[in-house]
Structures are given as C-alpha cells and as structure tokens.
A = this chain, B = another copy of it.
C-alpha cells in the first residue's frame, strides 16, 4: 500500500478527526516510546484482546510468545489482527462533565500477522524485541538456544495500514462554562521506573548495569 493511500477507510480517524495523524515518523515515535501493545484477533466472530510486548524494526512490528499462541493455533496464511499502542499522557479536567478528556497518543495498525519461519529473521526479531524494551540487555545475557527458539513463536506485522490519534493540551470548555466555579487543567500521567530490585538469588558481586540506570521511555 503506498503512503499516498493513507489513511484507508478503515484507519481514518472518524471521531474527533482533527486528532488523526498519518505520518510514519509520528507513528514510529509513538511505537518506539511504548513497548506494550494490545493485539486483537477474532475467533468465530468473537474478538480477543491480549496484552503483549512488541519490538519495531523499520516497517515491521514483531510480537512473540504466548500472545501469539492462541492466534497461531488456527492460522494458516496470516491472521487479521489489530495492534494498538496507547501512551496515556494525562487527565484533562474540564469545567463540565462532558468536556473531560484524556491526553494520549495512540497508534492502530491493521493487517495480517505472519509467522516468522526463517531462523535468522527469527533471531533478529527476538533481538529487536529485547533491544526495544531494554536497549543494551541482549549482549549481556545468555543467548537463546535451539530448544528455546523452537518454543517461541514470532509474528511479523507489516506497518502498512495505520493511523495515530493524539490529544494534547488543556481542556476545551464551552464558552459559557469558563466562569463555572471550579478548578480546571491537566493532570500529567507518566509510566515511571522505580528503584530496581535485586533477584533474591543474585550473586552479590553483580552490579546494576549502566543501561538500567535512569531507565525511561521518553
């Protein structure tokens, strides 16, 4: 699908259309800040939505493991999925109930996820996933062996049909409500890392690596 055909009728943002964003750079920025997605797929008309981690490399999104398994059981040449990534940035607190909102950046990708069969691509995909979540970790741990690679399924979803939706800024109240006697504004929300917790079985000589210090997705 060429960029000029974006968005499709399926990905065009209909409600609050001014919040729709379709450029690839913005979509990649959102995908690269997040690492948790919700994968939707349907079985006999019943949708399922499963949270799982992901990694991105160029125009490919990779997911792996248990999230793939329920889908994989019935998939032959690709399963129609919707992958949604949502970054919640704040509560938008207005003067009327109706105008309360949230600040967020979300991406929806539609398409067919296919099994990554090629051993080299599979290893690259797993490295992409690992480095997406904790850059620097892959080279510091025991690598996957044959048995583990076999037990892991990896799906690739091309980032071709997508849209982003973004809301930022203060509440937008009705003109006559600005005098309503209440506070209004934004409460920022952010996913933050706390102090790391040593594994109880950690060898005391192992220090927390540099790449885990000041961990932040921004």
CB within 8 Å of B: which residues of A?
A: 10, 14-16, 36, 38-42, 45-51, 53, 65-66, 69-70, 80-84, 86, 88, 91, 93-98, 100, 102, 104, 106, 108, 110, 126, 130, 133-134, 137-138, 140-145, 148, 151-152, 170-171, 173, 177-203, 206-209, 212, 215
Contact = CB atoms under 8 A, between A and B. Distances in A.
A185 B170 contact: no
A95 B142 contact: yes
A93 B212 contact: yes
B152 A126 contact: no
Contacts of A177: 142
A51 B84 contact: yes
A183 B207 contact: yes
Nearest to A109: B49
A129 to B, nearest CB: 9
A140 B212 CA distance: 43
A186 to B, nearest CB: 5
A18 to B, nearest CB: 13
B199 A171 contact: yes
B84 A134 contact: no
